[in-house]
Amino acid sequence: MATRNTSILPRATQQVIVGMKTPAGIVSVGVLLVDRDTSAKADNSVGRFRYAPSYLRRPDAVPLDPIEIPLQEGEFRFGRMGGLPSAIRDSSPDNWGRTLIRQKFAAENYTAPIAEVDYLLCSPADRSGNLHFAVDFGRDGEPQWDKRALTPERIPEMTALKEHVIEALRNPHAVQGKPYPKEMDALLTGSGGARPKVNVSTRSGTIMIKMANPLEDKASNARLEEASIRMAAAVGVTTCAVQTNKETDQDFLLVKRFDISPEGHRLQMVSAMTVLNANDAPFDRTNWSYPQFARELDRWSSQPAVDKEMLFRAMVVRAMLSDADDHPRNYALIRDPMDPANRGGGSTLGQWRLAPMYDCVVGMGRGYKAPELAMALGDRGYEISEENILSRCASFGLSEPKARQIMKEIEAQVLNDFPKILDQCQVSSQDKLVAMQGVAPLADRHVENAVTALLNSAGADIPTQKPAATAPKPQEPQPARTGNTPNRLRP
């Protein structure tokens, strides 16, 4: 493990210097101090953030989060997510990156609990968005930013990593003292998501390569995800550009990153988790809500009417495709600092756009026909049904007749065109069968699941597919965020 990372672990209070990448270079934004508390099973660390006075004096200074961390002097305190502000937590790796970091620590026989701030600092600089982090200042007084560059294209040689990937997936919590294969550093990424992946630079832009999970995948997830994204694009949703690489002995999904402009500069990015001020624990889905996200777009987006209808379309197509992995980290807002309309400093409210749709896989790649989504659709919570989808259509700026028209058009197009798109993506006949098991008319979805539940309660031997965890009751919509939000601690 690099000295930079091992040196941070013993510190009771961890310093994190926060920077923002601009076309002119990395600008120091402020300092986050995290008081570690991992004595319990949970990470109860508390964070304290201050903007740098030099940053506040800049005419082009913009906040990390215009609501939770507005541009002002003073200290902001945070008690959730391991003491990280949500806008900074968005830069941390998710399951896959964390798995590799745990294995690197285990190889060094480090046995203390790994804090949220450790995951942030031990991930490379290829993370989503435009934030950079440093632990210390150099002799010149400048922060020592982690600048690990995106690597050149190397798709063919990634095949050699397959056995290491399988081993990492098989032992996600690591084994103390077990050597860490250096080759796996090629797959250590700051990007989110559960799948093995790597970021590469190509002539056509920055590409994220998503690998297969050999232990869980029943089908070619790369081809199913490509088909699902293409289906969403066909019904009017702006999506990321995707393509399956079929030239090796395993499929890879190539995803063009939308948080990097065609000119190569990084865009500011926050997840819907940040916008909704939500918790990222699946057992607490308070604020995981499409209608609430749509209402937030009224003040975040520069084109709220367009983005709200786009979100409605994305919600409907995910419901049609049984993509129940639609958690708030699978939605984001992006802001281009080079857009002439965004020049200058101050609050960035009204300068963001809904990011292109990403991470959508029919039936979650398992032939799963979802009765619910992860985020609430309407008055009946997470339930997939026509009534629930239409119940809060006003939040999306749509009348009920207009919302019904869009919903019916998407439903008809998915039922008619998705089998053809699966063929275009060269999905095998067996995988196509798995995929189509996750597709059903919206009007039938809730009734079908209710009948199955009734038959099961009567003792009938009807096989069912259940979500991984029991869904909690949907919470009442929360009021719009103000500066005094639940993640912030009062002084």
All structural domains of the chain = 3-138+145-216 (no CATH), 268-457 (1.10.1070)
- Residue (of 137, 133, 136, 138) closest to 119 by Cα position: 133
Residue 355 confidence (pLDDT): 98
Say if CB 239 and CB 312 are below 8 A apart.
Answer: no
pLDDT at 152 over 60: no
Burial of 69 (0-12, 13-18, 19+ CB in 10 A): buried
Confidence label for 454 from pLDDT (cuts 50, 70 and 90): very low
Mean pLDDT along residues 279-286: 86
Q: State the CB neighbour count (10 A cutoff) for residue 142.
A: 13
pTM of the prediction?
0.86
pLDDT at 484 over 60: no
User: DSSP letters along 20-42, please?
Assistant: EEETTEEEEEEEEEEE---SSSS
How many Å apart are CA 314 and CA 334, to the nearest integer?
17
Residue 398 confidence (pLDDT): 99
Higher pLDDT, 272 or 195: 272
How many Å apart are CA 300 and CA 350, to the nearest integer?
5
Taking CA atoms, 459 is separated from 17, 448, 450, 455, 465, in Å, by 60, 17, 15, 7, 16
Mean pLDDT along residues 150-176: 59
Q: What type of residue is 389?
A: I
How many Å apart are CA 346 and CA 71, to the nearest integer?
7
The region of weakest confidence among 20-24, 206-210, 457-461 is 457-461
The region of weakest confidence among 64-68, 332-336, 432-436 is 432-436
Say if CB 266 and CB 260 are below 8 A apart.
Answer: yes
Residue 3 confidence (pLDDT): 36
How many Å apart are CA 274 and CA 287, to the nearest integer?
11
Say if CB 353 and CB 339 are below 8 A apart.
Answer: no
Say if CB 143 and CB 134 are below 8 A apart.
Answer: yes
Mean pLDDT along residues 254-264: 87
Q: DSSP label at 282?
A: T
- Residue (of 89, 78, 85, 79) closest to 120 by Cα position: 89
Share of the chain above pLDDT 70, in %: 76
The alpha-carbon radius of gyration of the chain (Å, integer) is 22
Pairing of strands 197-202, 205-210: antiparallel
Burial of 316 (0-12, 13-18, 19+ CB in 10 A): buried
Pairing of strands 25-35, 46-51: antiparallel
pLDDT at 204 over 70: no
How many Å apart are CA 193 and CA 190, to the nearest integer?
10
Confidence label for 393 from pLDDT (cuts 50, 70 and 90): very high
Pairing of strands 131-134, 46-51: unpaired
pLDDT at 73 over 60: yes
In DSSP terms, 300 is beta-bridged to: none
- Residue (of 366, 359, 362, 294) closest to 327 by Cα position: 359
Residue 491 confidence (pLDDT): 41
pLDDT tens figures, 420-443: 999 999 999 999 998 998 998 998
Mean pLDDT along residues 233-257: 88
77: helix, strand or coil: strand
Residue 28 confidence (pLDDT): 97
Confidence label for 321 from pLDDT (cuts 50, 70 and 90): very high
Confidence label for 455 from pLDDT (cuts 50, 70 and 90): very low
Say if CB 348 and CB 62 are below 8 A apart.
Answer: yes
Residue 421 confidence (pLDDT): 98
How many Å apart are CA 401 and CA 394, to the nearest integer?
11
Mean pLDDT along residues 351-358: 98
Long-range contact pairs involving 398-405 (C-beta distance under 8 Å, separation at least 24): 398/308, 398/309, 398/312, 403/312
